[in-house]
Each structure stands twice: as structure tokens, then as C-alpha cells.
């Protein structure tokens, strides 16, 4: 692997880690991010925190090659990347066996969902596993398109905005395989089902169904163009740039199959989606003082798709049954609704159905990944971003509240808790000021004194069936409860909250009704009457029982969920991705300076850099630190029995770590820079690597001995009962290379570059006259070679002898091998359609063993040697009258050496008696021998054992699996690869085939839809886009600026304390002039009276007694001078002119 600093011509933009910025300011941070953004370097570090800028285009930095590059690598080895953070998180989980989480934060459209997808895909790639694990991986990856279809939508700020929050927990075995998971979802923005702002869309699934359904499915569900439906035509936006609704619909159907949703339920889900669209087309008209259905034709399709009675649907939409209590008695009263109430009831039913289908899909994903016992997990928080629209209602209030909570976690763990830990541990520390948004969180969620959510709940508790006037009552009560809060402003129509990310104006209209979130009993009973069992199961409430106590509101639910989420995150080791949105145009390479600077300010990146630069990159309790690094020295391994401080000091000294790179607190050791930690880790890995090599060496020796025994047994089986054996060949080791190929590159050059030589030996070849000549025999995985010397006859090298290929044959061209039954070393290689080769080799048995293996690998057939004492073979035709056949006869003689008697066409070989034909090798005769190479090249090392030629692996991260997992059993859902082979039409056809048969015929679709209603709404919409501008920072922004001023004053006070005497203010407190002069030929000098530390890059640092050359004196009190070859400004009242 080539790291980025090892590559040539690598273009660097800005700095990878903003802790290394020369000047720490919002402008410097923005400038660095811009430089990198323009060069498509969208990731930047602040220590362990990853800053990600949305590129609004596809980048080629997420390939398998990049996954291999980041797998197991330290953070500093490669450029910043989401893969580096994910790999670090994954390895930390395996090493520490502690839960990890990644908190992805940023405003809407900053790229949070995309970052979460890349994290999941990386984990799926680098973690191994079998059938169950592969199924869990499939579910994790396929849950994204499914939940995005039902939970994401286009907004003016983001084309694929998450309209719900999710926390994905990927559960792992102790070996690091993902074998379970769980998704927790938060606050689906269900109001988007029934209404959208201009230039926005509803949830993607509605448009996917309209675009991707087949003609038959459209006919069955009554699907046509989106402008036909009232719930879709209000904004006039039906398409999204860069999004193919047809392809997305196929991905959604595929995801439902992989997750394991039954086909009949898939059909029911699509029927519900279509039924909601048809439900929205039911409009009302005034009939006296009550509401009536404007067109009865629109009742048929929603009733048909939802499996309910059409007349019952009419009754429940235009009327309601109220329970009245009087004098201990109760009675039911049927009341008629007016037009506005009927529309509200219709929309409430549509939102309730959709929400319950969404919850069912999330639960289906969880069931597909369910695990009995949880061990360790990685949590990925992908939640809706902070957002401001033209009209901000209850949903935006809840979304922004959750973002306040996430910002509070970041502040608590990266700014507040870290600084408090230094103080508690007795580490020398200068506090860094920052804006703590806990004051805003308390404004919203506090119970005592009551915050905004408590006040809204109190109003909802006193509301009755009619909600008129509740919102105005809310504003009055808020003014009394939180009106004096500095982060709250009231108005006649709503209120303003000064969030950490800016001021947001909320419209109180409908606030209480949406918070109450009550579905009337009539509608529950209506859906429970559905003939479709799946739809009826979505409403399991027992409406006959009376519930006591205050009903749960939407606000209290999200508050409980948010606090529970915070508790979960606090139990994990956190990692952070801070996403930044560079523009509102959603275009690549478009950079809005003011917008990015605003995000940098409210995300607290500058304060984060200051804390990281001044603080310590790593801290660990004494006992845990010694336990991890005790292997570094014999004194500390296996355990240190003395004072832990002395043990840690001993460990640090053993790696020659500078004393200023670490400090010891009361219970923990703190390490300053990541490089110092990497030093410890590298030395530790070397120790383990050395021990691993010792173990590997012993095991490889043991394994090699087993392989030698196995090979000898195989060779013996080939010759058993067929040929006599030589006395010393029976128990010898197989080496493979008997030539010394490592020292013979000219031989290697004659074979193919990718061919592995498995046998090499110098043999004796006999021609048609039985004259002998030496040849180098090479057997590779593909070919058979005979190499010999040949004299160059022409050219500048005339007369020189060079190695040439005398014969090259593919292994599958060999038709047979013939041998005698005696102990000689002769064998004949027969070739299809060509002459044979008569060869003599001491290591014929090993050659024959390797040849039969490679022959079977190549052809799938078994090569059967022939044994006879009279062998005949064709010879090469040379000149006139050549060719024909020759014979070799073997006769019994004396001794172990063969005696040759050639005649014209017959060679007689005489040799003595050898070992019996049934001889087999024995273990006691195994010896090391004297091979030229340490191990046979054709013996593969055991899985997981490092090769001798390369270093042992230095990191514990698992390797990318080389092959796909086997298909899961038929009892589990199909795998992604199986489903991907199906087209959208095939999937829909299967769904239609499982459609439940009903006696009702599909109703006819009314010709005119709700287009006329959309026109009226478009005329009423006010396309004011002022809300897209950079928001006012508000009180939170002022608090941040105030903390920066306090920081500057603190620096000046610290510089004064460093002197032995009281020093005057630099420059008398007057502002510095701009440095702009050229040095004069003769420069006066001054002596420094006090030490001074530069506060900016254009200032000089000096010690007491230094001599500075004065370039220019300025009456403002800041002079320009030279010191140690550097130009800069310095305070005149710190020096004395010579």
C-alpha cells in the first residue's frame, strides 16, 4: 500500500488537521475549508473530530481500493476520510470491547445521511462472517433505501432531507462480525403527508409509486400522475434533480424482499400508500352549517384500498361520537363536523395510517436483525438537521430542539468535560471560554421552572374537542412563564428562540393541536373494521377501556426520546462528524462565505481547535495504561507490582518519550500529541510481532513437517505396488527448487511473469540416438519447460552461450507418463500429437507428484502413469529419414547405478534390485535435509499465518473477505445478490400475484382529480425566500463573541504574569499599526526588558535580554523589528533602546 506522503505529485490543499493552523480564527478555518473544498478534499480533521463539507456531487473516493487503503491504518497515514474515522471506531470497539457511537451533526442538507451510509458500507466490507452475518449486512444496507423512501423528502434546503431521526445500532460478536442490529426512530414529520411548502415534495414513496408502478399495478391501485392528488399537487413540484424515481422504486421493492417482508404484506403497504393519496382527494363542502362530501366518486377508491365500508368512511369523516358525563352518568352524542373539522379529521386519519406503516417497516427491519444477547455495538446517529423555513411550526420546533441536545452533548464531552477533567486531575490548564447552549435546552425542556414544552403540554391538557383559541392562550402563558428569558422573544402570532445556530421564528398556528397528537376513537374503530387483516393490525388499541391520566403528547414523547438517546450516547465512546453545507444552491464548487462562517461559529470549531491544541490527545487510567503497554519491558510484564506512576515513567523512558509529551494526573496519564501515542502503539506492535514470529516459526515448522509427510504419502500412493523404490529417496523431504532460482534470474526470465515455478531440477535428456545432454526442467502451474544452452550464431553476441527454451508445453498437452517397474530414474513424457521426451531425474517421484496435481487442476482429469519394463515412444524428426519410434528395455543387473547399452533404436538399462514395491515412507526417517530454499513453494501456509517474505500484520483489523458469503438457507429472506437479478416488473408481478382476492371489483377512477384545488393554493402561496439567507446569530452568537473577547484579555493577563516584575500593557493598550516597511540599511537596536509570547503570526516572541533590530518605530506603541532572521511586530514598552 502506498500512503499519501509516499506518493509522488500528490496535491495538498490547506492543512489536513486544523489543529496545525498557524492562526486560529473563524476566517482562517473558513479559508482552509474553502481551499480543500475547491480541490475536492471535503474532509478535514480537528484532532479526532471529522469536519465534512457537502460537495453536492459524486466523488471517486469511496471505492474498494480506498477501503483497503484505510483498513487498519492509523489516522495520520492517509488523508482525512470518513473511512478513517470508521476504521478507528471499529478497531477501538474490538480492542477495548466497549460500545462506540458516531454523532453526525449539521444543518439540513449538510450531508449527514450520506456520511451514515458510507459508515455502514465500510463496516459491511471490512467485517467477515458467514450466512447469518451476511444476512445482517444485507438488511443494514437495504434498510437505507427502504426508510429513505418512506421517511425522506425534498425540501427547499435538501433534495433528500431526512424527515425523521434514526439511531442505528450495529451489534457485533466478540470477533467483530455484525450479527445483529436495531434501529430507533424519532418523530416522523407526518404533517408532510398532507401538506408541503412551495418547491417541496411529500415523502419519496408517493412519487416512486406514480413513476415506477407497472400498468397493471397502477390500474389496481388507481395510480396516475402526481398532479391528480391533492396531497401531492400543493407545491407544484414533482421531480428532483439527480433522482430517478423509477429506479428508486425498484430499490424500495428489492429492499422489502431482502428484509423479509412477505409479498402479501408488500402489496398491502403499497395499497395503503395509494389509499392515502385517494383519501386526500376527498373534499368537503358546506351543507348548511355542516360538512358534506363534495363528490361521492372519491369515496370508492380509498374505501376499496383500505378494506373499509364507503358509507362508514363518509360517516366518520363528517361526524364524531362524543362521550358526555353528567351526574355520574355517561352518554354518547353524535355530532356533525363543519368543513374545517372534516378536513382536519381526514388529514389526521391519513397521517395516522402513514405513521403506523412507517413504524411497521422499522420494526420489520429490527426483527430481521434481532439478536438474543447483545455484546458490543456501534451506534450511528443520523438525525434531521437544524432548519429554518418560511413558516416554522411544531415539527421544526422539535427538530431544532433535538439538534440543541446534540450540540449540548458535543459541548459537554469536547469542551466542558475535557477542561473539567484537567482541573480535577491537577493538570496545569488555562480555561477556554465557549458558549454553552444548556441555557437554550433548559428554556425548551425544563420542568422547574417550566419551559416551553411544559407550558404547551399544560395548554393541551385543558383543550377539549374544539381547539380554537388554544394557540393564543399558549402565547399568553409563554409570555408569563419565559417572557423574560434572554433567548426568548414573544410576538402576536408566535415566538422567537435564539438557538445556538441562530434565531428562528415559530408560528403558533396549530402548535397545540399537533402537540396533542390525539387520534379520535371513531377513526380507530373505522380502521379496525377493515377487511384487510394487516391494516386492522396497525390499530391494536382497546377503545372500550377508559384510560386515566393525562395523555402522552408529541412534545413529551420527543423529549423523552431525546433524553434517552443522550443517555445511550453517554454510555458509548463518542466519535464526531461535523457536517457543513457550503451553499443553498445545491451546486458543486459554489461557496457562500458568510453561510460557512456562520456554521463554523455556531458549531464551535474554533473553540474545539483551541482545546485540542492546548490539551492532550489521549488519556487513560493508570491501571489500564500499564495493562495495555506492560509488554514493552520485562519489568512491567506480565504485571507491575510497584507504584503505578513509577511503572508508567519506566515505560515512557523505555521508548525515549520526551518528558513534555506526557503528564500524570491524580488517577490518569495524559499524552500530549497523537504521534507520541502512535510511538507507544508501534513499539507494542513490534513486540507482539516478534512474539508472533516465534509462534509462527514453530507452527510453520510443525505444519511443514505435516505437509512433507502428506506429500510423501501421496507420492508413495502413486508408485505403490508398481515400482521399486531407491533406498534413500523414500523418506527424503520435497524441496521443489533444486537449481537455486533465487540466484538464477535468467532462468526466471524465461517463464511467464505470473507463473509460479513449483519444481526445478537439472535433468538428463536423451535424443533419438540416445545421446545424453543436461537440461533444466521447470514445472509451473501452467507449463512444462526444458531449458538448455545454445550458441549465438549472429549479431554482436556471436559465439556466446545463452539459455533458451528448448521445449515449452502446456500441462494439458501431456497425454501420459511412462516408467519402468525397477528402481531406475528414467521416465518418458508423452505429448499429444508430438514427439515424446526421454528424461532421467533423481527426483522423479517429486516431479510426478507435482505434475499429477497440476494436471488435475488444469484439466479436471487424473493423470495415470504407465509402468512397464519395455517402453516405446516417438522421437523428433530431424533431417532426412528421421522420426519413427525408439524403445527402452529394462533388465535386472547389479548395484544401484543404471548401466546403459544403446543400439540403433533400443536402449537397454540394467540395474540391481531396489526396495520392495510395497515400501512406504516412515516418520522416523524424516530429516531436515539440506534444501536450497527454506520451504516448498507449492505448500500454502495455514490461514492467518504471515509469509516469511513480508512483515507480519501489525494491526488487528480484520481483512476484507475475498469471496461472497454462501447463500442463506431457504427459511431466511433472499440475499441482495439474488434479489438484484430481478427486475422491477418481476417483483411487482409477484406482489400482484399474492394480492388477496376480494369480491369487490376495482372501482373506477374519477376523471378529474384535485388539480383545481392546487391552483388556488399556488395563488395563495407567498414565494418569499428571505428565510434561506444566513440566519441572525442572535443572543447565542453574541455570547460566543463575548467569550472570544474574554479569551484575548486573558492572554494579555497571562503574559503579564510571566514576568518577574509587573509588565506594562503591550503598546500601552493602543492598537497595532499594519506592518508595511522595508528594512533600512543601518538598523538601530533595542534590548528586551521582559519576555513576550507572540499572540499572532506577524508578531515576534522574545526572552528577557534578547537584542532586536528596529526596522521602524511607531508612535502607536507597536514597533517593527528583526530577531533571529524573522520580521515582525513587538510592543515598544517591553524594550529599551540601545
CB atoms within 10 A of CB 585: 10
* 8 Å CB contact between 280 and 1009: no
Are 529 and 518 contacting, i.e. CB atoms less than 8 angstroms apart? no
Is residue 909 packed enough to be buried (19+ CB in 10 Å), middle (13-18) or exposed (0-12)?
buried
DSSP string, 435-486: --THHHHHHHH-TTTT-HHHHHHHHHHT--S--TTHHHHHHHHHHHHHTT-T
Based on the residue annotation, tell me whether 1016 is a catalytic residue of this protein.
no
Other CB atoms within a 10 A radius of the CB of residue 794 amount to 6
| Side-chain half-sphere exposure of 506, counting CA atoms within 13 A | 28
Q: Does residue 638 have a cis peptide bond before it, meaning omega lies within 30 degrees of 0?
A: yes
DSSP letter for 392, please. B
Asked if 310 is an active-site residue, the reply is no
Of 14, 106, 109, 151, which one is the catalytic site residue?
109
Give CA–CA dist 854/779, Å, rounded.
9
162 given a catalytic annotation: yes
113 given a catalytic annotation: yes
* Lookup: cell for 1103: 526572552
Considering 52, 88, 108, 283, which one is annotated as catalytic?
108
Annotated catalytic residue within 165, 176, 180, 385? 385
d(CA 918, CA 721): 5
**How many CB atoms within 10 Å of residue 349?**
25
How many other C-beta atoms can be found within 10 angstroms of the C-beta atom of residue 376? 18
Grid coordinates of 719: 508408485
User: Which cell is 172 given?
Assistant: 457485533
Q: DSSP state, 412?
A: I
Q: How far apart are CA 919 and CA 730, in angstroms?
A: 8
Classify the C-alpha dihedral 284-286-292-293 as positive or negative.
negative
Pairing of strands 494-499, 488-490: antiparallel
Helix (H/G/I), strand (E/B), else coil: 531: coil
Residue 417 has a CB neighbour count (10 Å cut-off) of 10
* 86 part of the active site: no
Tell me if 1075 sits within 8 A of 1087, measured CB to CB.
Answer: no
Among all chains, which residue has been given the C-alpha cell 434517552? 564
Q: Which residue bears the cell 559465439?
A: 799
Indicate which residue of 161, 283, 392, 400 is catalytic: 161
- Catalytic residue, chosen from 177, 189, 387, 404, is 387
Closest CA to 761 of 896, 932, 875: 932
Name beta bridge partners: 19.
none
Least Cα distance to 224 among 242, 239, 206, 241 occurs for 206
Q: What DSSP element (H or E) covers 853? A: helix 844-859
| 32 three-class SS | helix
Catalytic residue among 105, 127, 158, 185: 158
Q: Annotated catalytic, 271?
A: no
Instruction: List the grid coordinates of 134.
Output: 451476511
Q: CA angle at residue 363 from 579 to 988, to 5 degrees?
A: 95
Contacts of 316 by beta carbon, 8 Å cutoff, 6+ apart: 345, 349, 522, 523, 525, 526
Task: Clarify whether 510 is annotated catalytic.
Answer: no
Q: Other C-beta atoms within 10 Å of 869: how many? A: 14
Contacts (Cβ under 8 Å, ≥6 apart) of 924: none
- Residues written for the chain: 1138
Which strand ranges, in their side-by-side order, compose the sheet holding 870-874?
870-874, 885-892, 906-911, 899-902
- Is there a catalytic annotation at residue 633? no
Distance CA 15, CA 63 (A): 24
Closest CA to 939 of 870, 867, 850: 850
Residue closest to 614 by CA, chosen among 546, 670, 664, 657: 670
Catalytic residues: 108-109, 113, 158, 161-162, 385, 387
Amino acid at each position: 500500500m502506498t500512503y499519501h506522503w509516499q506518493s509522488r505529485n500528490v496535491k495538498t490543499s490547506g492543512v489536513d488537521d486544523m489543529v496545525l493552523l498557524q492562526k486560529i480564527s473563524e476566517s482562517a478555518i473558513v479559508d482552509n475549508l474553502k481551499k480543500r473544498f475547491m480541490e475536492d478534499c471535503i474532509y478535514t480533521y480537528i484532532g479526532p473530530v471529522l469536519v465534512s463539507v457537502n460537495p453536492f456531487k459524486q466523488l471517486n473516493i469511496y471505492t474498494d481500493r480506498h477501503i483497503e487503503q484505510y483498513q487498519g491504518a492509523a489516522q495520520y497515514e492517509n488523508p482525512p476520510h470518513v473511512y478513517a474515522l470508521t476504521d478507528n471506531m471499529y478497531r477501538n470497539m474490538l480492542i477495548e470491547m466497549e460500545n462506540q457511537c458516531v454523532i453526525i451533526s449539521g444543518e439540513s442538507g449538510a450531508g449527514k445521511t450520506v456520511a451514515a451510509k458510507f459508515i455502514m458500507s465500510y463496516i459491511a466490507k471490512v467485517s467477515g462472517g458467514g450466512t447469518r452475518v451476511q444476512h445482517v449486512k444485507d438488511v443494514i444496507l437495504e434498510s437505507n433505501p427502504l426508510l429513505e423512501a418512506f421517511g425522506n423528502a425534498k425540501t427547499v434546503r435538501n433534495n433528500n432531507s431526512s424527515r425523521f431521526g434514526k439511531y442505528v445500532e450495529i451489534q457485533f460478536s466478540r470477533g467483530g462480525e455484525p450479527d445483529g442490529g436495531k434501529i430507533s426512530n424519532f418523530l416522523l414529520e407526518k404533517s408532510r403527508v398532507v401538506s408541503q411548502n412551495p418547491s417541496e415534495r411529500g415523502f419519496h414513496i408517493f412519487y416512486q409509486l406514480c413513476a415506477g408502478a407497472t400498468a397493471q399495478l397502477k390500474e389496481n391501485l388507481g395510480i396516475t400522475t402526481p398532479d391528480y392528488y391533492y396531497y401531492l399537487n400543493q407545491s407544484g413540484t414533482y421531480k428532483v434533480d439527480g433522482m430517478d424515481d423509477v429506479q428508486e422504486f425498484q430499490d424500495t421493492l428489492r429492499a422489502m424482499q431482502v428484509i423479509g417482508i412477505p409479498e402479501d404484506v408488500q402489496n398491502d403497504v403499497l395499497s395503503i400508500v395509494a389509499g392515502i393519496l385517494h383519501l386526500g382527494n376527498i373534499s368537503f363542502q358546506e351543507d348548511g352549517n355542516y360538512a358534506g362530501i363534495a363528490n361521492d366518486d372519491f369515496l370508492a377508491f380509498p374505501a376499496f384500498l383500505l378494506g373499509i365500508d364507503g358509507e362508514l368512511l363518509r360517516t366518520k369523516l363528517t361526524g364524531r361520537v362524543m362521550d358526555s358525563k353528567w351526574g355520574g352518568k355517561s352518554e354518547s352524542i353524535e355530532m356533525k363536523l363543519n368543513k374545517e373539522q372534516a378536513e382536519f379529521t381526514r388529514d389526521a386519519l391519513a397521517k395516522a395510517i402513514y405513521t403506523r406503516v412507517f413504524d411497521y417497516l422499522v420494526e420489520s427491519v429490527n426483527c430481521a436483525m434481532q439478536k438474543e444477547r447483545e455484546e458490543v455495538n456501534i451506534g450511528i446517529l443520523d438525525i434531521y438537521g437544524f432548519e429554518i423555513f418560511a413558516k416554522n411550526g411544531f415539527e421544526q420546533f422539535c427538530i431544532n430542539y433535538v439538534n440543541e441536545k446534540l450540540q449540548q452533548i458535543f459541548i459537554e464531552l469536547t469542551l466542558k468535560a475535557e477542561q473539567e477533567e484537567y482541573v480535577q486531575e491537577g493538570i496545569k490548564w488555562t480555561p477556554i471560554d465557549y458558549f454553552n447552549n444548556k441555557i437554550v435546552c433548559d428554556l425548551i425542556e425544563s420542568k422547574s421552572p417550566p419551559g416551553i414544552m411544559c407550558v404547551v403540554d399544560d395548554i393541551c391538557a385543558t383543550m377539549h374537542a374544539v381547539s380554537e383559541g388554544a394557540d393564543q392562550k399558549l402565547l399568553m402563558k409563554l409570555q408569563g412563564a419565559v417572557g423574560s428569558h434572554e433567548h426568548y422573544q414573544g410576538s402576536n402570532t408566535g415566538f422567537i428562540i435564539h438557538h445556538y445556530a441562530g434565531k428562528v421564528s415559530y408560528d403558533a398556528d396549530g402548535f397545540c393541536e399537533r402537540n396533542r397528537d390525539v387520534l379520535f376513537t371513531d377513526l380507530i374503530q373505522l380502521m379496525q373494521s377493515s377487511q384487510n387483516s394487516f391494516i386492522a393490525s396497525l390499530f391494536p388499541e382497546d377503545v372500550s377501556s377508559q384510560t386515566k391520566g393525562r395523555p402522552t403528547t408529541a412534545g413529551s414523547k420527543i423529549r423523552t426520546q431525546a433524553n434517552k438517546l443522550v443517555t445511550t450516547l453517554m454510555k458509548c465512546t463518542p466519535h464526531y462528524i461535523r457536517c457543513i453545507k457550503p451553499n443553498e444552491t445545491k451546486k458543486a464548487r459554489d461557496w457562500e462565505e458568510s453561510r460557512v462562517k456562520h456554521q463554523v461559529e455556531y458549531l464551535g470549531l474554533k473553540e474545539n481547535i483551541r482545546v485540542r491544541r492546548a490539551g492532550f490527545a489521549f488519556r487513560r487510567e493508570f491501571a489500564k495504561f500499564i495493562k495495555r503497554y506492560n509488554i514493552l519491558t520485562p519489568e512491567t510484564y506480565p504485571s507491575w507490582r510497584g507504584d503505578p506512576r513509577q511503572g508508567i515513567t519506566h515505560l515512557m523512558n523505555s521508548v525515549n518519550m520526551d518528558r513534555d509529551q506526557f503528564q500524570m494526573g491524580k488517577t490518569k496519564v495524559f499524552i500530549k500529541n497523537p504521534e507520541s501515542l502512535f510511538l507507544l502503539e508501534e513499539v507494542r506492535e513490534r513486540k507482539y510481532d516478534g512474539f508472533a514470529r516465534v509462534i509462527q516459526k514453530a507452527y510453520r515448522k510443525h505444519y511443514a513437517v505435516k505437509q512433507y509427510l502428506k506429500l510423501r504419502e501421496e507420492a508413495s500412493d502413486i508408485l505403490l505396488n508398481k515400482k521399486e523404490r531407491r533406498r534413500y529417496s523414500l523418506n527424503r523431504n520435497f524441496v521443489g527448487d533444486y537449481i537455486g532460482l533465487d540466484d538464477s534470474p535468467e532462468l526466471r526470465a524465461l517463464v511467464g511473469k505470473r507463473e509460479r515455478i513449483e519444481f526445478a531440477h537439472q535433468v538428463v535428456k536423451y535424443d533419438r540416438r540416445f545421446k545424453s545432454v543436461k537440461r533444466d526442467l521447470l514445472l509451473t502451474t501452467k507449463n512444462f519447460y526444458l531449458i538448455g544452452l545454445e550458441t549465438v550464431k549472429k549479431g554482436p553476441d556471436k559465439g556466446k552461450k545463452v539459455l533458451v527454451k528448448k521445449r515449452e508445453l502446456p500441462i494439458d498437452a501431456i497425454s501420459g507418463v511412462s516408467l519402468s517397474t525397477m528402481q531406475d530414474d528414467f521416465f518418458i513424457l508423452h505429448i499429444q500429437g508430438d514427439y515424446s521426451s526421454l528424461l532421467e531425474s533423481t527426483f522423479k517421484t517429486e516431479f510426478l507428484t507435482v505434475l499429477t496435481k497440476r494436471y488435475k487442476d488444469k484439466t479436471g482429469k487424473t493423470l495415470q502413469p504407465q509402468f512397464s519394463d519395455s517402453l516405446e515412444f516417438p522421437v523428433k524428426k530431424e533431417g532426412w529419414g528421421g522420426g519413427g519410434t525408439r524403445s527402452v528395455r529394462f533388465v535386472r543387473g547389479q548395484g544401484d547405478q543404471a548401466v546403459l547399452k544403446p543400439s540403433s533404436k533400443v536402449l537397454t538399462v540394467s540395474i540391481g534390485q531396489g526396495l520392495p514395491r510395497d515400501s512406504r515412507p516412515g516418520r522416523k526417517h524424516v530429516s531436515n535435509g539440506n534444501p536450497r530454499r527454506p520451504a516448498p513453494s507449492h505448500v500454502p501456509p495455514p490461514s492467518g499465518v504471515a509469509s516469511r517474505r513480508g512483515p507480519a500484520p501489525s494491526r488487528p483489523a480484520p481483512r476484507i473477505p475475498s469471496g461472497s458469503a454462501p447463500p442463506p438457507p431457504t427459511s431466511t429472506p433472499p440475499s441482495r445478490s439474488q434479489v438484484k437479478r430481478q427486475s422491477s416488473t418481476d417483483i411487482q408481478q409477484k406482489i400482484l400475484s399474492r394480492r388477496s382476492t376480494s369480491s369487490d371489483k376495482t372501482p373506477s377512477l374519477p376523471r378529474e382529480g384535485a388539480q383545481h384545488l392546487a391552483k388556488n393554493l399556488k395563488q395563495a402561496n407567498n414565494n418569499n425566500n428571505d428565510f434561506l439567507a444566513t440566519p441572525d446569530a442572535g443572543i447565542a452568537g453574541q455570547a460566543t463573541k463575548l467569550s472570544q473577547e474574554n479569551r484575548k484579555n486573558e492572554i494579555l493577563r497571562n503574559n503579564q504574569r510571566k514576568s518577574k516584575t509587573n509588565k506594562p500593557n503591550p503598546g500601552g493598550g493602543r492598537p497595532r499599526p499594519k506592518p508595511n516597511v522595508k528594512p533600512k540599511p543601518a538598523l538601530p537596536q533595542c534590548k528586551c526588558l521582559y519576555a513576550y509570547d507572540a499572540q499572532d503570526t506577524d508578531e515576534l516572541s522574545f526572552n528577557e535580554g534578547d537584542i532586536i533590530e528596529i526596522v521602524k518605530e511607531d508612535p502607536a506603541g507597536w514597533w517593527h523589528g528583526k530577531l533571529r532572521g524573522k520580521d515582525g511586530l513587538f510592543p515598544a514598552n517591553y524594550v529599551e533602546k540601545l
